[in-house]
Amino acid sequence: MADIIGCVTTSHVPAIAKAIARGQQDEPYWKPWFDGFEPVHRWLARAKPDVAVVVYNDHGLNFFLDTLPTFAVGAAPEYRSADEGWNIPTVRPFPGDQPLSWHIINSVVAADFDVTMCQQMVVDHAVCNPMALLWPGGGEWPVRIVPVEINTVQFPFPSAARCYEFGAAIGRAVAAYPEDLRVVVIGTGGLSHQLDGERAGFINKEFDRKFMATLIEDPTWAAQFSTMELMEQAGTQGIELILWLTARATLGAVRQVAATYHVPISNTAAGMMLLEPAA
Ligand code: DHB
Ligand code: FE
């Protein structure tokens, strides 16, 4: 049977890709952030996942304001990146896992999550940057991916509680997949940030810390808040923390393997957590 061996949540700020392209990982400003991933690299080398289910938000590359699904799941043979206007390099294509994609789609639709099915899909910095952070250094990607996209771009957004249930449904789907696969779930975005408007630059360290702590022991804590309450606490783009929540909800009890919090990267309080199932 397939097994979710862990969950990695990380910010996806475009500036990360610029730092990678310029080889700035060891510069004083960037070093703590990139060093934070060393335990993740060691864990991945041991855990050897076959597939990454990547819970992310498209920022206007594949979907635009004219046609915007609430939940979408990729079922493509591969996923390419493309120019988004951030002046960051495109990355080598990610191989898909179509049988697992269709299994997840069938399972979550049966559980009343009526997702949009995408047999072709380009992926933006919200997929590419976390993948480059987890598997730096180029060469073939060592995992296939199943992209799971959630709208955080145009109102109305799905509630945190609904995202939590969606994540739990994905977790049950993977656990019921008959093939022996090692699956890592990645949740991208966050933590607190606001890129525009009167509160541009808003960061809430206290809320981020509480969110990270509860993600381990009490993940339904964040699910109690409305979209507006979350945006008030975490900034308008901080709503991306629903992607962390969805990824976390694929697992039951967890323990933390590693975490980092680096403030700010660009306008964002950048965080990373690696969680694995509690023994
Ligand atoms: C930034 C953060 C994001 O999450 C994003 O998608 C784009 C930009 C930023 O802080 O610059
Ligand atoms: Fe973002």
Q: Looking at the CA of 57, which ligand is closest?
A: 2
Residue whose Cα lies nearest atom 11 of ligand 1: it is 266
Nearest 5°: CA angle at 13, between 29 and 266? Answer: 50
The burial class, CB within 10 Å (0-12 / 13-18 / 19+), for 175 is: middle
> What SS3 class is residue 65?
coil
Task: Give the atom of ligand 1 at the shortest distance from the alpha carbon of 267.
Answer: 10
Instruction: Give the global pTM.
Output: 0.98
> What SS3 class is residue 259?
strand
Ligand 1 midpoint to CA 239 (Å): 12
Residue whose Cα lies nearest atom 8 of ligand 1: it is 13
Does the CB atom of residue 202 touch ligand 1 within 6 A? no
> The dihedral of CA 137, 240, 102, 111: what is its sign?
positive
Task: Give the atom of ligand 1 at the shortest distance from the alpha carbon of 265.
Answer: 10
Distance CA 256, CA 8 (A): 10
Does the CB atom of residue 59 touch ligand 1 within 6 A? yes
**List of long-range contacts for 250-253, beta carbons under 8 Å, 24+ apart:** 250/4, 250/7, 250/53, 250/167, 250/168, 250/170, 250/171, 250/174, 250/185, 251/4, 251/6, 251/7, 251/171, 251/185, 251/275, 251/277, 252/277, 252/278, 253/277, 253/278
First to last CA, the chain: 18
- What pLDDT is stored for residue 138 in this prediction? 86
Does the CB atom of residue 57 touch ligand 1 within 6 A? no
Does the CB atom of residue 129 touch ligand 1 within 6 A? no
Q: Which of 11, 81, 195, 272 to mutate to test the pocket of ligand 1 (most atoms within 8 A of CB)?
A: 195
Distance CA 56, CA 66 (A): 19
Q: Which of 12, 33, 56, 262 to mutate to test the pocket of ligand 1 (most atoms within 8 A of CB)?
A: 12
Please name each of the domains of the chain with its CATH number.
3-277 (3.40.830.10)
**Residues tagged active-site:** 125, 193
- What pLDDT is stored for residue 37 in this prediction? 98
- What pLDDT is stored for residue 259 in this prediction? 98
Does the CB atom of residue 267 touch ligand 1 within 6 A? yes
Q: Looking at the CA of 195, which ligand is closest?
A: 1
Low-confidence ranges of the chain (pLDDT < 70): none
Ligand 1 midpoint to CA 112 (Å): 32
